[in-house]
Amino acid sequence: MLLAKRLAPLLFIAIAGCVSVPMDYPREESYVMEPDGSAPLAAFAERWRAGNPGKSGFQPLPQGLDALGARLRALDLARHSVDAQYFLIKRDEAGMLFLGKLLRAADRGVRVRLLFDDIFTPRNDDVLATLSSHPNIEIRLFNPLSRRSPAFWSMLWDFQRSNRRMHNKSFIVDSAVAIVGGRNIASEYFELKDDGNFDDFEVLTTGPVVADVGESFDQFWNSRLSLPVEALGREPQPNRLGVWRSAMEAVVSGQRTSAYGRAVQSELVEAVFNGQQPLIAATATVASDRPEKLKVARGAEEELVVAVALGDAVVAAQREITVITPYFLPREVGRQLLKDKAAEGVRIRVITNSLASTNHVPVHAHYRKYRRELLRAGVELYELRADRQPGSEDRNRERMTLHTKAFEIDARTLGLGSVNVDPRSIEINSELIMFIDSPELSQRLLDFLDEDLAGLTWQVGLDENDRMRWYYKSGDQVEVRSGEPGASLWRRLQANLYRLLPIEGQL
């Protein structure tokens, strides 16, 4: 017993050492570069500013291939700087295309800063160290886990820190154009997979708002929570850059029918950068949580920048609110706000995933506890059909998952970014949202919903006996279901189990 007491402190120190992260590793601050008018994208931005003083320009990117093509084309045109911030990057086809284009840009002398969260990006530290050995590439990981122990053990031991994540997504080239929205860098976000793709939405923008996106990026890049990849202990291998060039060249030089070929040949993207596709002129503001949000107690009011901005927009609504979110789990204050606005006569529509389409069953399990409460208050609920072919019994049909995070208010304001309506986005992680004051953009979204919402979703409602029902009406096809439509027995069992667990505040 005495020996155990003496060994316990030593064991504690040993374990703590295995999960420690060298957050004091030296690093230099850097910032978004000033635009250089000689660069093609800077000239593109200058032409826009000259014709639209004080306004930013926007091009919606609802299609995955267009969104990928916009990134790849912008990287081709890059001359001075690339600043990319993402929640995750995978080493799949989309990830290889993206990294390959970054390497090409760096070879031309472009300064590349790549920042991503460390929790779900596969641990490819050797690859990252090799890329970061390029004199023009710097890679940082946000709030990284220890590499001296398995990831699960590091998270468990240091849960209070490791549970706080950077969910922001932004992409800036030559300080002239930016892409903001909900996509990460992985094939499913660009609809490149045979099944299991994500429906998402972004905008490509130029004008004054790009500087605001860059300011948010710099805050995270220079945060003490952003650690250079070299700090993880992997030796850089500059001699392997040639191997990586060859591997990625094989991906980016594919045939015209490949994902790369189809993306870079996007007619929309080419028309935008050639000036043939007019951008939508509007004013916009960016609300971004600060890195400090992840250092203070969860829910600390002084750091809920995005949550407060979103709440203010909802409070100001006079006629209608449309919420599109893959995960819908508002806390009591959020539910009360929606019910109060509905009582004022504001039409409220919420579009989210069904149990069949969601990639996060625990969230859906707890969301469904509040459906009846919201429906009784007059909130309209729509849940995405998981299949592209309604009515099909083909078990191999493509499953679609909603991943868009958008907020439309009074047919005038469109909010777009990384924030979900759930406790994790609001209280735990950092997020970014852009509010665009544009009746034209808002109306485009409303027109799409008026034309396609019925065909893509189940409308959730209550029948005359206050029982939950799912209604599908598209053309001559009418369906009414009494249970979670399209969900397998296994998913239903999972949802029932998760509903019993006290985990709502962590979702």
Residue after which a domain boundary falls, among 250, 274, 298 = 274
DSSP label of 217: H
One domain, residues 258 and 296: no
Residue 215 lies inside a defined structural domain of this protein: yes
Q: Are the C-beta atoms of 102 and 81 separated by less than 8 Å? A: no
What pLDDT, on a 0 to 100 scale, did the predictor assign at position 16?
44
Nearest residue to 30 via CA among 115, 119, 121, 127 = 115
> Out of 341, 360, 366, 405, which one is annotated catalytic?
405
| Residue 2: per-residue pLDDT | 53
- 295 and 330 both lie in a single domain: yes
Instruction: Give the Å distances, CA to CA, from 56 to 32, 47, 81, 349, 443.
Output: 18, 12, 20, 28, 18
Q: Is 56 helix (H, G, I), strand (E, B) or coil?
A: strand
In a domain, 22, yes or no: no
Residues 111 and 59 in one domain: yes
Active site residue 364: no
Cα separation, 99 vs 134, whole angstroms: 13
Q: Give the relative orientation of helices 40-51 and 267-274 as an angle to the nearest 10 degrees.
A: 70
193 is catalytic: no
Of the candidates 437, 492, 420, the one whose C-alpha atom is nearest the C-alpha of residue 56 is 437
- 156 with 219, same domain: the answer is yes
Catalytic residue among 101, 199, 403, 422: 403
Q: Please, are residues 117 and 208 in contact by the beta-carbon 8 Å criterion?
A: no
Phi, psi of 380, deg, nearest 5: -90, 130
Catalytic-role residue among 134, 169, 360, 366: 169
Amino acid at 204: L
Query: Both 250 and 356 in a single domain?
Result: no
Residue pair 227/129 in contact (Cβ under 8 Å)? The answer is no
The verdict on 192 and 312 lying in the same domain is no
Residue 151's SS3 state is helix
Largest separation between any pair of C-alpha atoms in the chain: 80
Kindly state whether residues 234 and 259 are assigned to the same domain.
yes
Q: In this structure, is residue 9 part of a structural domain?
A: no
CA distance 307 to 323: 14
Residue 24 domain flag? no
pLDDT score for 435: 98
Is 240 found in the same domain as 159? yes
CB burial of 459-482 (b: ≥16 within 10 Å; e: otherwise) equals bbeeeeeeebbbbbebeeeeeeee
Dist. CA 67–CA 228, nearest whole Å: 28
Torsion region of 207: left, alpha or beta (phi above 0 gives left; psi -120 to 50 gives alpha): left
| Active-site residue, 55 included | no
- In the set 167, 293, 341, 364, the catalytic residue is 167
pLDDT of residue 358: 96
Q: Is 23 part of any domain?
A: no
Residue numbers of the domain that contains 236: 29-274
- Give the total number of structural domains in the chain: 2
CB 82 within 8 A of CB 105: yes
What pTM was estimated for this model as a whole?
Answer: 0.93
Show which of 274, 307, 339 is a domain's final residue: 274
Residue 20 domain-assigned?
no
Residue at which a domain ends, from 274, 301, 324: 274
Catalytic member of 76, 125, 218, 410: 410
Q: Is 167 a catalytic residue?
A: yes
- pLDDT for res 398: 56
Residues 157 and 131 in one domain: yes
Say what angle helices 93-107 and 64-77 make with each other, to 10 degrees. 10
Distance in angstroms (rounded) separating the CA atoms of residues 317 and 490: 40
Does 267 share its domain with 372?
A: no
473: tokens are 């009406």
15 in a structural domain: no
**pLDDT value for 8:** 41
- pLDDT for the residue numbered 249: 77
Specify the CATH number for the domain of residue 172. 3.30.870.10
Q: Is 360 assigned a catalytic role?
A: no
427/431 Cα distance (integer angstroms): 10
Whether residues 216 and 331 fall in one domain: no
Instruction: Verify whether residue 405 is a known catalytic residue.
Output: yes
Catalytic site residue from 118, 174, 289, 422:
174
> pLDDT by residue for the chain (507 residues), tens digit each?
554 455 444 334 434 444 678 888 999 999 999 988 889 999 999 999 999 999 999 999 999 999 999 999 999 999 999 999 999 999 888 998 999 999 999 999 999 999 999 988 777 788 888 899 999 999 999 999 887 667 666 777 788 888 899 999 999 999 999 999 999 999 999 998 877 889 999 999 999 999 999 999 999 999 999 999 989 877 777 778 888 788 777 777 765 557 777 887 889 999 999 989 999 999 999 999 999 999 999 989 999 999 999 999 999 999 999 999 999 999 999 999 999 999 999 999 999 999 999 999 999 999 999 999 999 999 999 999 998 555 444 444 457 899 999 999 999 999 999 999 999 999 999 999 999 999 999 998 888 888 889 899 999 999 999 999 999 988 888 899 999 999 999 999 999 999 999 999 888
Whether residues 42 and 106 share a domain: the answer is: yes
Q: Residue 78: which residues within 8 A CB-CB, separation 6 or more?
A: 39, 41, 105, 108, 110, 173, 174
Q: Domain for residue 1, yes or no?
A: no
